[in-house]
A and B are shown apart, each in its own frame.
Chain A
Amino acid sequence: MEPSEELLDVAIVGSGPAGLAAAARAARRGMRHLLLEKTDHLADTIFRYQKGKHVMATPPQLLLRCDLAFEAGARETVLARWAEDAAAAGIAVRHHAEVTEISGTRGDFTLGLADGTRIRAAHVVLAIGTQGNPNLLKIPGVGAPGAPVVQYTLDDPAAFVDEHIVVVGSGDAGIENALGLAADPAQGNHVTLLNRSADFAKAKDANVKALMAARDAGRIAVLTETAPNRLEAGHMVVDTRDGEARLRCDRVIARLGSAPPRAFVEKAGVAFTSAAREAFPLLSPQFETSVPGLHVIGALAGYPLIKHCLNQGHDVIEFIAGNTDLRPADEPILERVFAGLQPARPVDDWIAFLRARVSIFRPVSPLQMRELLLDATVRRYAAGEVVFVKNDVGASLFAIAEGAVEVEIDPGPPRRTATIGEGSIVGEVGLISGRRRGATVRAATPAILVELPRTAALRLIGTVPDAGAEVDRITTTRLLLQIFQSGLVAEDLAPILETARTVTARAGEAIVTEGETGDDMFVIRRGSCTVEKRIGGRPVFLRYLPAGSYFGEMAVLDGTPRTATVRAAIRSELIRLDGAAFRRLFEARPELRARTLAEMAARRALNAFIEERKDRFGSAVDLYSETAAFLVENGLGEATDALLIDERLCVGCDNCEKACADSHDGLSRLDREAGRTFAYLHVPTSCRHCEHPHCMTDCPPDAIRRGPDGEVSINDSCIGCGNCVRHCPYGVIRMDSPPPRKPGLLSWLLLGRGPGPGEPPKAWAKAERARLRTEAPPKKAVKCDMCAGKAGGPACVRACPTGAAIRVSPETFLALAGRRD
Chain B
Amino acid sequence: MNAPARPSAPSTTARRAPQAIHEGFLAHRRYRWAWIAALLAGSSVLLYALDDPWPRPNGGTALGYALGTLSAGLIVWLSLLGIRKRRFTDGPWSLKAWVSAHVWLGLALAIIATLHAGFQFGWNVHTLAWALMMGVILSGVWGVVLYQRLPRQLSDNRATASERAMAAALAESDRALEAAARPLGDREAALVRDALATPAVGRSLGSRLAGRVPRCGTAAALRALPEGDPELAPLRDLLAARSVLLARIRTNARLKTWLQVWLLVHVPLTVALLAALLAHIVSVFFYW
Contacts and interface: CB of A to CB of B under 8 A. Distances in A.
B99 A652 contact: no
A594 interface: no
B124 interface: no
A812 B13 contact: yes
Given A647-B154, A799-B95, A549 B5 contact: yes
B11 A812 contact: yes
A801 B94 CA distance: 8
A263 interface: no
A798 B88 CA distance: 9
B2 interface: yes
Given A435-B9, A648-B152, A802 B99 contact: yes
Nearest to B177: A217
A650 interface: yes
B30 interface: no
A300 B108 CA distance: 71
B21 A815 contact: yes
Contact of B172 (A217, A553, A786, A808): A217
A564 to B, nearest CB: 6
A318 interface: no
Interface residues of A, number: 86
Interface in A289-342: none
A549 B4 contact: yes
A757 B13 contact: no
A756 B93 CA distance: 21
B36 interface: no
B88 to A, nearest CB: 4
Interface stretch (A133-141, A361-369, A416-424, A539-547): A539-547
Interface residues of B, number: 58
B162 A675 contact: yes
A390 B6 CA distance: 12
B7 A803 contact: no
A658 interface: yes
Contacts of A715: none
A673 B163 contact: yes
A217 B168 CA distance: 12
A745 B88 CA distance: 10
Contacts, number: 190
Most buried by A among B94, B95, B172: B95
Interface stretch (A35-43, A70-78, A106-114, A436-444): A436-444
Interface in B3-58: 3-14, 16, 18, 20-25, 28
Contact of B21 (A653, A680, A808): A808
Interface in A29-87: none
Contact of B4 (A436, A548, A651): A548
A806 B158 contact: no
A803 B24 contact: yes
Contacts of B93: 792, 798
A651 B7 contact: no
A677 B163 CA distance: 12
A663 B88 contact: yes
A811 B5 CA distance: 14
Nearest to A439: B7
B1 A563 contact: yes
Nearest to A523: B5
B9 A436 contact: yes
B66 to A, nearest CB: 31
B150 A482 contact: no
B88 A659 contact: yes
A261 interface: no
A542 B1 contact: yes
Contact of A543 (B1, B24, B88): B1
Given A551-B1, A647-B154, A218 B179 contact: yes
Interface in A272-293: none
Contacts of A651: 147, 150-151, 259
Given A217-B175, A677-B160, A483 B5 contact: yes
Given A804-B151, A812-B21, A792 B92 contact: yes
Interface of A: 185, 213, 216-219, 390-391, 429, 433, 435-439, 479, 482-483, 531, 542-543, 545-546, 548-551, 553-554, 563-564, 566, 603, 607, 640-641, 646-653, 655, 658-659, 662-663, 673-678, 680, 682, 709-710, 745, 749, 756-757, 786, 790-793, 795, 797-804, 806-809, 811-812, 815-816, 819
Interface of B: 1-14, 16, 18, 20-25, 28, 82-83, 85-88, 90-96, 98-99, 147, 150-152, 154-155, 158-160, 162-164, 168-169, 172, 175-176, 179, 256, 259
25 contacts: A217-B172, A219-B175, A433-B6, A437-B9, A438-B6, A438-B9, A543-B3, A563-B1, A566-B1, A607-B1, A649-B24, A650-B151, A655-B85, A791-B90, A791-B91, A791-B92, A792-B91, A798-B88, A798-B94, A798-B95, A801-B85, A802-B24, A807-B16, A812-B13, A819-B21
